[in-house]
Amino acid sequence: MSAIGEVKIPGGKLVRVTVADAAGTRTCHIDGDFFAAGEQASAAAITQAEAVLAARLDVLDAPGTAIEPWYRATVRAIEPIVGSALIGANAESIALAALRAHAQRAPEAFAPELARFEAERSARIRRQWQAAQHDERTQPPLIDPRSVRERWRAFAPVLVEDGPRMPEEQMRVERAWSQEVARGERPATLRVWDWAAPAVVCGAYQSIEDEVRLDQARVRGVHVVRRDSGGGAMYIEPARTITVSLYAPLGFVHGLSMAQSFQLCDMWLIEGLRACGVRARFAGLNDIAGPHGKIGGSAQQRVPGVPGCMLHHTTLAYSIDARAMAAVLNTSAEKMSDKAVKSAAKRVEPICAGTRLTRAQVVARLVRTAREFGAV
C-alpha cells in the first residue's frame, strides 16, 4: 500500500513524498521540481532524509503522538541533512508532505488533528501571501549588468547552432558536452539547438509517473526523457520551442548565489527577447516571463572536475498548443496553490504573443545578442 503527499512552498518548488509498505518494511521516496546545490551530495542527502522520514513515521504511529510536536521534531531531524543541499525545497515541506501521505493511509486516526494543523498553516500562508508572490512578479536584478557582460567576455563561449536531434540523443549530448567542459577538453560553449520530435523533459528529482500522463504521451508520440538537472517538467514541440544550453567552467559563476547565476546565464535572452519586442523579465528563481505569463524556464547542474562545468539550459515557448500540453502533463492542484492563475496552460505567455517575428527571426536575433554579449 502506498500514498502520496505533496507540498508547494509559496514562491518555491513542489515536494512530493511517497510512503509505501512492502514485506513489513516502510519506505519513503522524495521527489519534486526542486534544484540541487550539488548533484552527488544532494542525492545522498535525499536518501538519508528518506530513511529518517520512514523512522519518524514509525514514531507517528505510536499511540498518543501529537502531530504538531511530531512535525517540529521531524523538521529538526531533517534540516541538518537537506539544509544547504536542496534549493526550492526545505525540511518543513518534506516533513509536511510525509505527514499528508501518511494521514491518507489512516484518515480516521488523523483527520481531526490534521485538519486543525492544516488550518493553522493555511492561516500563516495567507498572512505571508504578499511575500509568497515573488514568482508572479518581476524578479529584481541580482547582479550588475556590467558584471554580466564582463564575465561573458572573459569566458567567450563558442557559439554552436546545432541541428535537430531526437530527445534521447539531446540528453546524451548535454551530459557529454558538460563532462568534456568539466575535464577541460572543451571550451565554454553556447549551443542553440532544435528537437527532432515532441518530448516531455523531466527534472532529475521528479517522478515521471506523477508528472506525465504516459498513456497520452504514447498516443501522441511524445518522447519522455529525464535530464540531469533539477527543476520541473517541460513540454516540447519542435516548431514551437527554442532551446539553448550554456556549458561553462565553474569559474564563470564563482562567488555567485544560485539566483544570481540564473540571471548571469539568461540576461542575454532577456535582452534578445526585448530586442524582438517582447517585454521579457526575470520571474522567480529560474523563469523568464512576459507581462502576463511564463515564457520559459531554466535549469542548472554543476559537474565536478577541473575546471568543472556549470550546465545551464533554457527552454522558451515561441508558441503553444495549450490543449496538447494539458493532455500530457499532469499538473497537481498543490503545485498551482500559490499561483494567481490556477491553470498551467493559461500561465504560459508564448513569445509570439509579444512579437510579429517568426520563430526563425527570433532565434537569429537571440544569436546576434549572444555575440554582442561575448559569444564567439
What tens digit of pLDDT does each residue of 183-199 get?
Answer: 999 999 999 999 999 99
Residue ranges, comma separated, of all CATH 3.30.930.10 domains in the chain are 145-373
The average pLDDT across 248-264 equals 96
Taking the domain 145-373, which CATH number applies?
3.30.930.10
Task: Say which CATH topology domain 2-129 has.
Answer: Sufe protein. Chain: A (3.90.1010)
pTM comes to 0.82
Residue 337: is its pLDDT beyond 80? no
Residue 125: is its pLDDT beyond 50? yes
Kindly state the cell numbers that stand for 200: 516531455
Average pLDDT, the chain: 90
Give the pLDDT confidence score for residue 105 in this predicted structure: 79
Give the pLDDT confidence score for residue 132 in this predicted structure: 42
Give the pLDDT confidence score for residue 36 in this predicted structure: 84
Pairing of β 158-165 and β 189-195 = parallel
Residue whose C-alpha cell is 557582460: 149
Helix-strand-coil split of the chain, %, nearest 5: 45, 25, 30
What is the pLDDT confidence band of residue 135, given thresholds at 50, 70 and 90?
A: very low
Rama region for 23: left / alpha / beta (φ>0; ψ in -120 to 50; rest):
left
Give the pLDDT confidence score for residue 152 in this predicted structure: 98
What is the pLDDT confidence band of residue 113, given thresholds at 50, 70 and 90?
A: confident
The average pLDDT across 205-212 equals 93
User: 326 phi and psi, to 5 degrees?
Assistant: -65, -30
Neighbours of 7 (CB within 10 A): 26
Pairing of β 86-87 and β 35-36 = antiparallel
The average pLDDT across 251-255 equals 97
Which range has the top average pLDDT, 38-52, 100-114, 208-222, 345-359? 208-222
Give the pLDDT confidence score for residue 10 in this predicted structure: 72
Give the pLDDT confidence score for residue 336 in this predicted structure: 52
Residue 69: is its pLDDT beyond 50? yes
